[in-house]
Amino acid sequence: MGKMKEVKAFEQELLEHIDMIKLAREENDTELTSSLLHESLEALVTMRRISNEKELEALLSREQDPCLCYIEVQAGAGGTESMD
């Protein structure tokens, strides 16, 4: 239930910022419009970063995901691949 409340709050904040952008575009006051647009766009960029982080957390939430892993890279048979 906690995750659902978090998602609902995130969705509500997103909709509010979208409404603010729409209202800012309808206003005739260029200074106010610019300020509202700037504020809302900054908030949307932050929300996008947070949503990407939450998506990664959701993808890495299985039993073995917190475990360490090692990657080994081996060169090919020779030539430019082994030089790289």
pLDDT in tens, 35-56: 888 888 888 899 999 999 988 8
Q: Is the pTM of this model over 0.75?
A: no
| DSSP secondary structure letters along the chain | -HHHHHHHHHHHHHHHHHHHHHHHHH-S-HHHHHHHHHHHHHHHHHHHHHHHHHHHHHHT-STTTTS---------SSTHHHH-
The yes-or-no verdict on residue 2 having pLDDT over 70 is yes
